[in-house]
Amino acid sequence: MHIHILGICGTFMGGIAAIARESGHTVTGCDQDVYPPMSTQLESQGIQLIPGYSPEQIQLQPDIFVIGNVVTRGNPLMEEILNRNLPYISGPQWLAENILRNRWVLAVAGTHGKTTTSSMLAWILEYAGLNPGFLIGGIPENFGISARIGDSSPFFVIEADEYDTAFFDKRSKFVHYHPRTAILNNLEFDHADIFADLPAIERQFHHFVRIVPNNGLIVANGKDQNLTRVLQQGCWTPVEAFGTENGWHTKLQDNQAIDIYCHDMHQGRLQWDLLGEHNRMNALAALIAARHAGVPVKAAIEALAQFKNVKRRMEKRGTVNGITVYDDFAHHPTAIQTTINGLRTFAGKEKIIAVLEPRSNTMKMGVWKDSLADSLREADQVFCFTRDAQWAKAALAPLAQKADCFDDMHPLVQTICGIAKPGDHILLMSNGGFGGIHEKILSALKK
């Protein structure tokens, strides 16, 4: 079968492309404004990428068009598909019907930590010799690819997103996946472009809870009151909680050593390099889910000790003249604050220069303007690229002299490099390519 994917460079759709090709399908696709790591992943797999959405692409005559949720009415190729009544399907539905049917699906949902937790879970199963399939919204360093079919294994790990499925299917993506093991990491208001308020998101999460079978397992953050409300709406599946003393929890020995407990029973000690409480919570969720799939806790801890994190999650992009540059996907105030706090734990009193691109739809709308400044307070210097978020200049006013805003990339890079000194940490945060600022800064520092 030949499938043509619209919006192929999104992390989810790029993963579908990889899995479809591995399954023996002919895969082509189109997108615009592409950037790594997905563009380079597609190139390495020999998948033809067509720039833009020209209507002429129907001449490829695929058996079906797979539509990403970036595609809207008015898209010229989509309009041609509709006018000619050609067959099309959403990415999640294609995945559910062609890959996930008859698999033991382990789905990771939540506002934050989905990609990292999914990567941890897939790696634990891999370490245990279970050869899982997976589709993750990033590239786990342990695998070097965002998706694979894992056709010799019953297990499939998927990052379960609450964002809507497609312009013609406004349900959250995760309702398509029918998991047997479901992780609920946390829940906050986000995606203001499609959800009116927090209760609207909670309803979608309850739709997800409703489809987990009673012989499955829900792994839930016991500290999150929003998730508690979701489960109180009705739950027909056993629940294991993490993050509380009466469930699974951790005790930090130092930055790298973590003791893991289930209630008051010590399960083992994890020695690793990841920073922050959020990663300890992610690890607990992955460990419990893997245990449900049959992996002993001891083996899961051994696997996590060898976990290498995910590209664009506190990824060290380079060090020049003692100045270290990091890339992170943070684009929500909670994630921004958590990321900076984690780096602060590691950096101590060394200077942190935080550089933010408010790029998500919710950020551009200014939904988080009242909490943005607080999320950045632990940084010593803050820069914001405000080309698409002019409201941010006023929002960062409480930070006074330690915050500055730029509409132009070149002076932003020059200013950052002008103040950076040996021992400093430059933290770049965006859910997009950020105009290639990472390499621009590293190149400027070398000069």
Cα-based torsion angle of the residue sequence 91, 97, 98, 101 in order, rounded to the nearest 10 degrees: 130
Query: Is 208 within 8 Å of 182 (Cβ atoms)?
Result: yes
Question: Binning pLDDT at 50, 70 and 90, where does residue 37 land?
Answer: low
Question: Binning pLDDT at 50, 70 and 90, where does residue 395 land?
Answer: confident
Give the Å distances, CA to CA, from 289 to 124, 285, 295. Answer: 10, 6, 9
Which SS3 state, helix, strand or coil, does residue 236 take? coil
255 has a pLDDT exceeding 70: no
Q: Which is higher by pLDDT, 44 or 424?
A: 424
| CA atoms of 129 and 317, how far apart (whole Å) | 31
Domain ranges of the chain: 2-91, 102-305, 315-446
| CA atoms of 442 and 447, how far apart (whole Å) | 9
Give the Å distances, CA to CA, from 118 to 109, 325, 338, 400. Answer: 9, 25, 19, 39
Amino acid of residue 384: C
Amino acid 369: pLDDT: 76
Query: Is 340 within 8 Å of 378 (Cβ atoms)?
Result: yes
Amino acid 35: pLDDT: 64
Percent of the chain with pLDDT over 70: 98
DSSP β-bridge partners for residue 315: 327
| CA atoms of 235 and 182, how far apart (whole Å) | 12
Task: Domain 315-446: give its CATH architecture.
Answer: Alpha-Beta Complex (3.90)
- Please write the tens of the pLDDT for every residue from 293-341: 999 999 999 999 999 887 777 788 899 989 999 998 877 888 888 889 8
94 has a pLDDT exceeding 80: yes
Model pTM score: 0.80
For Cα atoms 411, 396, 339, give the angle at the middle one, nearest 5 degrees. 85
Neighbours of 192 (CB within 10 A): 17
Q: How far is CA 210 from the centre of its chain?
A: 23
Question: Binning pLDDT at 50, 70 and 90, where does residue 166 land?
Answer: very high
Give the Å distances, CA to CA, from 171 to 97, 106, 204, 306. Answer: 16, 19, 8, 37
Q: Average per-residue pLDDT in the chain?
A: 91
Question: Binning pLDDT at 50, 70 and 90, where does residue 129 land?
Answer: very high
283 has a pLDDT exceeding 70: yes
Would you report the helix, strand and coil content of the chain in percent, each value rounded to 5? Answer: 35, 25, 40
Amino acid 403: pLDDT: 87
Closest CA to 272 of 309, 227, 239, 304: 304
Closest CA to 354 of 333, 337, 369, 376: 376
| CA atoms of 444 and 7, how far apart (whole Å) | 33
| CA atoms of 263 and 282, how far apart (whole Å) | 18
Question: Binning pLDDT at 50, 70 and 90, where does residue 48 land?
Answer: confident
Tokens in use for 341? 């706090």
CATH topology of domain 2-91: Rossmann fold (3.40.50)
Closest CA to 113 of 277, 297, 268, 229: 277
59 has a pLDDT exceeding 80: yes
- Over residues 376-401, the mean pLDDT reads 85
CATH topology of domain 102-305: UDP-N-acetylmuramoyl-L-alanine:D-glutamate ligase (3.40.1190)
